[in-house]
Structure 1
Amino acid sequence: MTLAVRDLSIRYGFFVLLVALAVFFYAAQPAFLSLRSLIFVFQSVSITAILALGVTGTLVVGGFDLSIGSVAASSMMAASYAMVIWGWGTAETVALCIGFGLLAGLFNGVIIVYGRIPDLLATLGTMFLLLGLQLVPTAGRSIARGMTLPDGTTATGSFDPSFLSLGRARLFDVLPVSVVVMLALGVAIFVFLEFTRWGRVMYAIGSNQQASRLAGAPVERYKIAAYMISGGFASVGGILLAARVGRGDVSSGNSLLLDAVAAALIGFAVLGAAKPNAFGTLVGALFVGMLLQGLTMMNAPYYTQDAVKGAVLVVALLFTFSMTRPGER
């Protein structure tokens, strides 16, 4: 393989794969490329993409956040509890959930930076901690209007219609609000990482933490900030999930972590970046959504979907890193 062909393959090979996937599913089921189907794909991946964008922030500084799924699930339960049991409105509930996400990110960052716990172990511990704590207030039950609380009383609150519109409303009766939020956050984090001094410092820290520290960068503060970004994004995902399902479902966040991580890692292969990047993460989320939508429309058994996702992830990353020279990474 010549150098030019290799470079073109690395840079555009994933988009060729994306187009080939769309053509394959279109040939098998023409409705796959209908406007309704494409909008459903974007809506289905919007929450996953938001969480993946948060993970991307931690990957940029050389970290990794395994707690995003539990932060999102806890935010969903917190939003449901605040509205159904405390009777809060939309503004207070959204502020509570985002504050919770930022606090969870701060906790992760502090124990990683100052407690010197490896990021995978620290965020794994936080994941299990939150998965357990979110069940305590309701004794493990999902939260819904009229539910019986552990003390025997009945919840009298309900979800505010303005809150539910965050997960169910459509702009111009076409584009779901959750997709708009996803795109807005995607543009924001892309601009932040690629075009600001803070973003460049974060990439420098991820590339060589010791050199960045010697150059005067406040490495600890940037790493903590990265985990707070991840927690904040995860809480937004939890808010949208609560608004979409209209209840605090204890099982709704189970698959969020794996799908978000897959999207963030597939992003490494987009345009041959071989590094975490917001644009690649969004494309990775779209790819995962198209893959699942196509398999669903073809009536593929549900138990095969994770295997297919895993195989695609391995192939995409193997293709990117095996063809990239060490000096280019």
Structure 2
Amino acid sequence: MRNFAIRYGFLLLLLAIIVFFTIMEPAFMSLRSMVFVFQSVSITAILALGVTATLVVGGFDLSIGSVAASSMMAASYAMVIWGAGSVEAVALCLALGLAVGFFNGVLVVYARVPDLLATLGTMFLLLGLQLIPTAGRSIAKGMMLPDGSTAEGAFDPGFLFLGRHRLYDILPVSVLIMLVLALVIWFFLEFTRWGRVMYAIGSNELASRLAGAPVNRYKIAAYMISGFSASIGGILLAARVGRGDVSSGNNLLLDAVAAALIGFAVLGAAKPNAFGTLVGAIFVGVLLQGMTMMNAPYYTQDFVKGAVLVIALVFTFSLTKAARN
């Protein structure tokens, strides 16, 4: 029974919550409600998948929220102020994410700064840097620039397509991107040689070095994957809101970290994994959607997310360790 609870307990808990909310509010299981759940967690899940890559190699990335926010501001700045197109804006954001990931990896691997401190420093660096070009203002069409001129550019319709369009009027493009990215990272980590090496590094870095694995390169690559994922999240966020809002990325970090850690408990994995991360993000989305439909006060949401995280960690560490003993 203990092994069954470890392996399937969290999924059963998710099922029980869905049944409960459906009984209390039948509209909860409608197609529109489910699509909204997936859309609401798509950006969080994409960032969480990046965090998962760093957790696999024994690291941690606290800068993902600021990378997403900086990407959102960079895309907005490129189109509204520089007059760039959607392709250039997307390319700029992806390059920014990869560059930040490389910078984090170098700090951790070669400067030997602990990952939490290195990515925390990067987080504050980006949070300040993104405000400098516009003197702390959000970016929108027709905004007044610091030099007194007016921005003449606008968001490209092709760019807004990424955040607002629904395929067949049902499936948001952002959800499709989330599912594709989750599938790619899941396959990469579970079924490729590179993914297995990354897990080996996270399990025992010294043994991996002695076995001849290029540990430094793999760790840097993991942070670059995290930065790349975070930049995709920032692109989708900018495409959804249609402006460069300086406060839009504030809650992304905590939600993404919660989803990645909850993923440890899915199917008793007790390790970072892409499938568990996706389920963790959906779990949080289901909770928040159900609470919203039942008119629960907004200020209880963080408490509920914290309680879910604690339960997931108990499933992951206490019960798993007890079963092994």
What is the rounded CA distance, in whole Å, between the counterparts of 1:190 and 1:248 in structure 2? 31
Equivalent residue for 1:267, pick from 254, 260, 263: 263
1:195-214 matched pairs, under 5 angstroms: 195-214=191-210
Amino acid at match of 2:240: R
Q: Deviations over 1:183-207 (max 9, x none)?
A: 0000000000000000000000000
Q: CA deviation at 1:293?
A: 0.6
In the alignment, is residue 58 of structure 1 matched against residue 28 of structure 2?
A: no
1:217-232 matched pairs, under 5 angstroms: 217-232=213-228
Q: CA deviation at 1:325?
A: 2.8
Q: Deviations over 1:91-129 (max 9, x none)?
A: 111000000000000000001100000000000000000
Q: CA deviation at 1:50?
A: 0.2
What is the rounded CA distance, in whole Å, between the counterparts of 1:318 and 1:41 in structure 2? 25
TM-score by length of 2: 0.99
Retained in 1: the 8 A contact 2:3–2:323?
A: no
Q: Deviations over 1:152-203 (max 9, x none)?
A: 0000000000100000001111100000000000000000000000000000
Which 4+ runs in 1 deviate beyond 4 A?
Answer: 326-329
In the alignment, is residue 143 of structure 1 matched against residue 139 of structure 2?
A: yes
% same residue: 79
Equivalent residue for 2:284, pick from 288, 293, 297: 288
Q: Deviations over 1:26-85 (max 9, x none)?
A: 111111111000000000000000000000000000000000000000000000000000
Q: CA deviation at 1:327?
A: 8.8
Query: SS of the counterpart of 2:320?
Result: coil
**RMSD value, Cα:** 1.1
Equivalent residue for 1:106, pick from 102, 118, 142: 102
In the alignment, is residue 124 of structure 1 matched against residue 120 of structure 2?
A: yes
1:214-253 matched pairs, under 5 angstroms: 214-253=210-249
Retained in 1: the 8 A contact 2:259–2:277?
A: yes
Equivalent residue for 2:10, pick from 11, 14, 27: 14
In the alignment, is residue 23 of structure 1 matched against residue 19 of structure 2?
A: yes
What is the rounded CA distance, in whole Å, between the counterparts of 1:219 and 1:100 in structure 2? 24
Aligned to 2:152: 156
Q: CA deviation at 1:6?
A: 1.1
What is the rounded CA distance, in whole Å, between the counterparts of 2:324 and 2:250 in structure 1? 36
What is the rounded CA distance, in whole Å, between the counterparts of 1:199 and 1:145 in structure 2? 43
Query: SS of the counterpart of 2:151?
Result: coil
What is the rounded CA distance, in whole Å, between the counterparts of 2:250 and 2:188 in structure 1? 30
Aligned to 1:190: 186
What is the rounded CA distance, in whole Å, between the counterparts of 2:39 and 2:235 in structure 1? 14
TM-score by length of 1: 0.97
Aligned to 1:170: 166
Indicate how the Cα distance of structure 1 residues 327 and 118 shifts in structure 2: closer, same or farther if over 3 A, else same: farther
Aligned to 2:301: 305
Structure 1 gap segments, 5+ residues each: none
Q: How many residues were matched structurally?
A: 325
Equivalent residue for 1:80, pick from 73, 76, 90: 76
Q: Deviations over 1:241-297 (max 9, x none)?
A: 000000000011011001000000000000000000000000000001001111111
Query: SS of the counterpart of 2:71?
Result: helix
What is the rounded CA distance, in whole Å, between the counterparts of 2:307 and 2:67 in structure 1? 27
Aligned to 1:97: 93
Structure 2 gap segments, 5+ residues each: none
Indicate how the Cα distance of structure 1 residues 114 and 326 shifts in structure 2: closer, same or farther if over 3 A, else same: farther
What is the rounded CA distance, in whole Å, between the counterparts of 1:256 and 1:47 in structure 2? 8
